[in-house]
Structure 1
Amino acid sequence: MIRQKKMAGRALLLAGPPGTGKTALALGISQELGSKVPFCPMVGSEVYSSEVKKTEVLMENFRRAIGLRIKENKEVTELSPEETESVTGGYGKSISHVIIGLKTVKGTKQLKLDPTIYDALIKEKVAVGDVIYIEANSGAVKRVGRSDAFATEFDLEAEEYVPLPKGEVHKKKEIVQDVTLHDLDAANARPQGGQDILSLMSQMMKPRKTEITDKLRQEINKVLFSKQI
C-alpha cells in the first residue's frame, strides 16, 4: 500500500504488550521500502524534555518521516573522470585551475575548471573511474557512483556501480532530490551569518538550537501546496 501511494496522509498504529515484535515489524517495513522512504525511530525518553514541549518533539519527528521528491531541470556536465592532472600543486603552492579528463560513451574530452571545483571534488572523494556530474551554473559536484567498467569479481562490495554516461558531456538533465519536511524547516530557520564582528563572535560561541516555529511550518506547507510537489 505504501509503494502504491495509498498510505499518503494516513498513519498506522501498532499496539500491543512489550516484546511482541512491534519495533521489529516497523524496522522490517523500513528496510523493505529502501532508503528513499524516510524512517524516523524514536523512544519515549526523547519526548520528555525541560526545554522543548512534547508536541514540538512529536511534530519534528513527524515531519522527519514525511518525504518529498524535488525535480529540477539543470544544465550539468556528466562524466566519468578518466585522468586528473595535478595542477600547480605541491607544498606551499596555490591551485590556479583544474584540468580533468572526461569520458562518455561518445568519446573523451579535457576541461579546464575553476579552482573552487577542486575543493568540491576533494569533498566528494572523487577518484579516477567515478561517475560524477557538475552543475554548470553553481559548480556543485555530485558523485553518482563507480563506473561499471571498474567492477571487480567480488560478490559483495560497498561501492555502487553505474553505467558510463551516454551522449555528450554537456547536457540538460532532470535532477531528483529526496528530502523531508524537517530538512526544509531547518534550512529556512537557520539564520545566515554575516561578516561583521558581532556575527563572527556569535559563530565562535556555543551554537544554539535553531527554533522552528509553527508559522514557519505553515509557510513551507503553503509553498509546497502551491508548487504541487
Structure 2
Amino acid sequence: MRRKQREESSNAGRWLTTYSDMVTLLLAFFVLLFAFSNVDEGKFSSIISAFQNYLGVLTEGQSILERPSPLPFDYSDMGHRQLYELFEQMSDYIEQEGLQGVELEIQERGLIIRFAEQVFFDLGQATLKPEALEILDNLADQLRELPNPLRVEGHTDDWPIRTSTFPSNWELSVHRATNVVRHLIEEDGFDPEKLSVAGYSEYRPIRPNDTAQNRALNRRVDIVILNIDM
C-alpha cells in the first residue's frame, strides 16, 4: 500500500516537467524565427518578454506554480489583436516622423494616442497650432478607414483658468477636444458618426499635479481608438 502511494506521489508532478519542456521548445522556436529576420533590438526584447509572461516561461527562482502576470489583454481576441497591430504601426510612424510629445498606450477600452499640450496648443489656448494641423492630417491617413469609433478627450492640470472664453478648465478641455474633432471632420473627411468628444478638465490626471513637469504631462489631448468589441 505504501509503495502504491509513493508511486502516485512521484507521478503527480510529471506533467509539470512536460509542460516546462513544451514551453522551452516553443520559446526556442520563436527565437529561431526571429534569428532569420531583421529585427529591431528593442522590439525583439519586448516580444521575448511578452512570451515569457504569457506562456509562463520561468525566470530564476520562480516556481512554475507562480505564473507571472499575463499580457494586459486577451491577445486571442480579434479586437485586441487589431489594436496591438495598430499600436505597432503607429509606433513605427511616430519614430519615422520623429514626433515629440506623442505617446501610445493600450488599455482595455482601446488604443490611446496621447498628445502633450505643446504639440497642439499654446498654454491656456484652444486654437490648433499650424504644425498641429499637419500632424492631424498625417494621422488621419492612418486612421480614417478604421472601423473603430474614435473619441477625442481633452485634459488640463489643476491650475484654475478664468477668462471670458474659458471660465474654467471644463470649457478649455472641451473646446480643445472639439477643435480637434472639427478639423478631422471638416479638413480630413472623417465620418462624424464615428467621432465623439469628451472634456475631463483636471479630473483624470495621469500624474499627480505636484510639480511643473507633472502638470505639463496632465495637459494633453487623447485620441482614443475604441475597442470595436466593447
> Which TM-score band applies after superposition, normalised by the shorter structure?
under 0.3
Higher strand share: 1
TM-score (norm 1): 0.23
TM-score (norm 2): 0.23
